[in-house]
Amino acid sequence: MSERITNKELTMIKLQLLANGISFDSNFLKNYNNSVYIEKRWAYGNGDEEVFACKIPQEIKLKDIVVAVHYRKDSKWVLTSSGDKYSLNYNDSFIIDVTFPLRPKFYDEKLKNGTYCRSVGTLYGGGALGIFSPGSCYNFKQGLPCKFCSLEPTRNKLGDHVKDITPELAAELVEVALTKDSNLIGQIMLNGGNYPSNDYGFLKQVNTVKLIREKMSGLELKDNIEIHLIGMPPDDLSLLDELSDLDVQVSMNIEVYSPEIFEDIAPGKHKFYGRNKIIKGLEKAVDILGKGNVYTVFLGGLEPMQSLENGLYFMAQKGINPVINVFHPDPKSGLGNYPRVSVESMEKMGEILQEVYTKFNFRSLFQGFGRNSLDNEAYLGYFG
99 closest CA partner among 77, 113, 72, 79: 79
pLDDT for the residue numbered 1: 56
384 residues of the chain, pLDDT tens digit each: 556 889 999 999 999 999 999 999 999 999 999 999 999 987 776 777 788 889 999 999 998 899 999 999 999 999 999 988 999 999 999 999 999 999 999 999 999 999 999 999 999 999 999 999 888 888 988 999 999 988 777 777 767 888 889 999 999 999 999 999 999 999 999 998 899 999 999 999 999 999 999 999 988 886 789 999 999 999 999 999 999 999 999 999 999 999 999 999 999 999 999 999 999 999 999 999 999 999 999 999 999 999 999 999 999 999 999 999 999 988 888 998 899 999 999 999 999 999 999 999 998 888 778 889 999 999 999 998
Contacts of 220 (CB under 8 A, 6+ apart): none
Distance of CA 224 to the CA centre of its chain: 20
pLDDT for the residue numbered 338: 93
Pairing of strands 187-191, 93-98: unpaired
Q: Which amino acid, 138?
A: Y
339 closest CA partner among 290, 301, 293: 301
- The CA distance from 361 to 335, in Å, is 34
Q: Which amino acid, 253?
A: N
- Determine the angle formed by the axes of helices 7-20 and 343-360, rounding to 10 degrees: 130
- The CA distance from 237 to 199, in Å, is 9
pLDDT for the residue numbered 95: 94
Give this prediction's pTM: 0.93
In 213-363 the beta strands, taken as DSSP E runs, fall at 226-230, 249-251, 294-300, 321-326
Contact 275, 268 (CB under 8 A): no
- The CA distance from 68 to 47, in Å, is 10
pLDDT for the residue numbered 114: 96
Contact 227, 247 (CB under 8 A): yes
In the chain the beta strands, taken as DSSP E runs, fall at 23-24, 59-62, 65-68, 77-82, 85-90, 93-98, 122-124, 128-132, 187-191, 226-230, 249-251, 294-300, 321-326
- The CA distance from 15 to 13, in Å, is 5
Q: State how far the alpha carbon of 209 is from the alpha carbons of 226, 228, 306, in Å.
A: 11, 9, 37
User: Domains in the chain, ordered, with CATH?
Assistant: 7-98 (no CATH), 105-379 (3.20.20.70)
Write the DSSP assignment of 175-211 as a string of letters: HHHHHHHTTT--EEEEE----S-HHHHHHHHHHHHHH
Pairing of strands 128-132, 122-124: antiparallel
Number of other CB atoms surrounding residue 55 within 10 Å: 17
pLDDT for the residue numbered 378: 96
Q: How many CA atoms lie within 13 A of 344 on its CB side?
A: 0
Write the DSSP assignment of 120-180 as a string of letters: T-EEETTTEEEEE--SS-HHHHTT---TT--HHHHHHHS----SS--HHHHHHHHHHHHHH
- The CA distance from 86 to 158, in Å, is 27
